[in-house]
Amino acid sequence: MSAFSAAALTPNGRGAVATIRLQGDWSALETSGVFRTSRGVSASTAPVGRVLLAHWGPPPGEDVVLCRSDKHVLDVHCHGGQAAVARILADAAAAGGEVRTAKELVKQSAGLFEAECLDVLSRACTLRTAEILLEQASGTLRDQVQRLIDGRDLSKLDEILHWSEFGRHLTAPWRVVLTGAPNVGKSSLINRLVGFERSIVNPTPGTTRDVVTAEAALDGWPICFEDTAGLRSGAAALEQEGIDRARARLEQADLVLIVVDVSQGLSDADRALCAQYPEALLVGNKCDLAPTDAATLRMARSVSCVTGVGLEDLTAAIVDRLVPEVPESGTAVPVSERQIRLLQAAFADNDIAPLFDLLGSNAEAKQTPDA
């Protein structure tokens, strides 16, 4: 068995600073000279919490900041580029360390429940979702499940399960799919919604073929917009492939935006689409042009991708549909599929056992204090 483990705690990708955790007996890295502190203070014996400047590897090497965050834990903060991280992990492996994922490392020391809470926190892509995930990682979910276990009372389980879908979306963005006839302005709209020219806009009907995705945060919620081929019958083979893909994406959507051209009014095909997706938001684009159909104007949310009119209201309506309620501070939210599955099992069978599995060994210890 390895004397120590090493894992990058910061997510993959470039950042200003990356953090690598060494856990176990990592002292060989220091005694063999893989790193040296700049003032000659031994990191192995430095007090927990003391911050040390150090140099990693032979010249030119890396300047790093070291800090023991626990008796057997050394956090190495280095440049955020992937090369620096890869090099430190490779040196740790060469010194006999076992390279692991952050989730595996936390699981080893704190247990699976804490590891998955920290794992999802590291994948949060907005401040708003990170705040909610941080609350769960800081004990809100654990405390409330523990309370149910201690009180042998599952009546409040549905209050936690209520937030399952919301919890899933804290790391997997809500999917909003734009559909409608060719040329109504779907690509123009996705560009407006995400704030940059992601999708090609052209007066030629049938411009968009493949599914074009773009991620954005609306009101702090991560949303993946999908622009799709305009739907029409009698399309040539290539365009038809795009239409088939569009239909498949519609089935996976959390929200469908049916875009129509208000200057043209609603066609039979538009009406059929509305009937097929009754939960969809109907968006009447091109309201800067003279509308021909007052009924369409009444039914649809009017916007203009040219002037920008109506886009703020549309954004608010999208957020309202996707996130109709936001948990108050202190609300327990399940954040992983495993947590949701075990909560559902406890609820379905009115059985407390899955909750022990959910929290891991700490929960069992509390249940049988005399053991």
Residue 241 interacts with ligand GTP (CB under 6 A)?
A: no
**Binding footprint of ligand GTP, residue count (CB under 6 A):** 22
Nearest residue (CB) to ligand GTP, 133 versus 235: 235
Residue pair 23/73 in contact (Cβ under 8 Å)? The answer is: yes
Do residues 230 and 205 make contact, with C-beta atoms less than 8 angstroms apart?
yes
What is the closest distance, in whole angstroms, from the C-beta atom of residue 249 to ligand GTP in the complex? 14
CA distance 262 to 243: 22
The binder of ligand GTP chosen from 285, 331, 336, 339 (CB under 6 A): 285
Q: Which of 140, 183, 296, 331 binds ligand GTP (CB under 6 A)?
A: 183
Residue whose CB is nearest to ligand GTP in the complex, by number: 230
By beta-carbon proximity to Mg ion, the closer residue of 24 and 230 is 230
What are the structure tokens assigned to 305, written together? 């991708």
Residue 366's φ and ψ, nearest 5 degrees, are: -70, -35
Convert residues 202-221 into a mask of x (bound to ligand GTP by CB under 6 A) and - (unbound): xx-xxxx-------------
Nearest Cα to 196, choosing from 220, 221, 227?
227
Q: Rounded to whole angstroms, how far apart are CA atoms 255 and 225?
A: 10
Other C-beta atoms within 10 Å of 61: how many?
A: 15
CA distances to 79, 132, 311 from 263, in Å: 55, 43, 17
The region, left, alpha or beta by phi > 0 then psi within -120 to 50, assigned to residue 327 is beta
Q: Is 187 in the site for ligand GTP (CB under 6 A)?
A: yes
Could you tell me whether strands 17-24 and 35-37 are parallel, antiparallel, or unpaired per DSSP bridges? unpaired
- Which positions ≥6 away from 26 have C-beta within 8 Å? 3, 4, 6, 72, 74, 92, 95, 97
Site for ligand GTP contains 169 (CB under 6 A): no
Distance CA 219, CA 223 (A): 10
Residue 311 or 317: the one with the smaller Cβ distance to ligand GTP is 311
Q: Which is nearer to ligand GTP, 139 or 205 (CB)?
A: 205
Could you give the CA distance from residue 28 to residue 97 in angstroms, rounded to a whole number? 10
User: What is the smallest separation between the CB atom of 297 and ligand GTP, expressed in angstroms?
Assistant: 14
**Strand 255-261 with 281-285, pairing:** parallel
Q: Binding partner of residue 288 among Mg ion, ligand GTP, none, CB under 5 to 8 Å per kind?
A: ligand GTP
Among 184, 194, 343, 363, binds ligand GTP (CB under 6 A): 184
> Looking at 21-29, 162-170, 195-203, 331-339, which segment touches ligand GTP (CB under 6 A)?
195-203
Q: Is 232 in the site for Mg ion (CB under 5 A)?
A: no
Whole-angstrom Cα distance, residue 250 to residue 99? 41
CB-based contact 335:141 (threshold 8 Å): yes
Q: Based on CB atoms, which residue is closest to ligand GTP, 29 or 258? A: 258
x/- map, 161-200, Mg ion, by CB under 5 A = -------------------------xx-------------
Q: Which does 286 bind (CB under 5 to 8 A by kind): Mg ion, ligand GTP, none?
A: ligand GTP
- In angstroms, the CA 320 to CA 298 distance is 20
Taking every pair of Cα atoms in the chain, the longest distance, rounded to a whole number of angstroms, is 81
Distance CA 132, CA 92 (A): 34
- Residue 243 binding ligand GTP, by CB under 6 A: no
Q: What are phi and psi of 224, to 5 degrees?
A: -105, 115
By CB under 6 A, residue 254 contacts ligand GTP: no
Q: Which of 175, 186, 249, 301 binds ligand GTP (CB under 6 A)?
A: 186
Closest distance to ligand GTP from the beta carbon of 341 (Å): 40
Rounded to a whole number of angstroms, the minimum distance from the CB of residue 294 to ligand GTP is 18
Identify the residue among 19, 136, 171, 208 touching Mg ion (CB under 5 A).
208
Interface residues with Mg ion (CB under 5 A) are 186-187, 207-208
Interface residues with ligand GTP (CB under 6 A) are 182-188, 201-203, 205-208, 230, 285-286, 288-289, 304-306
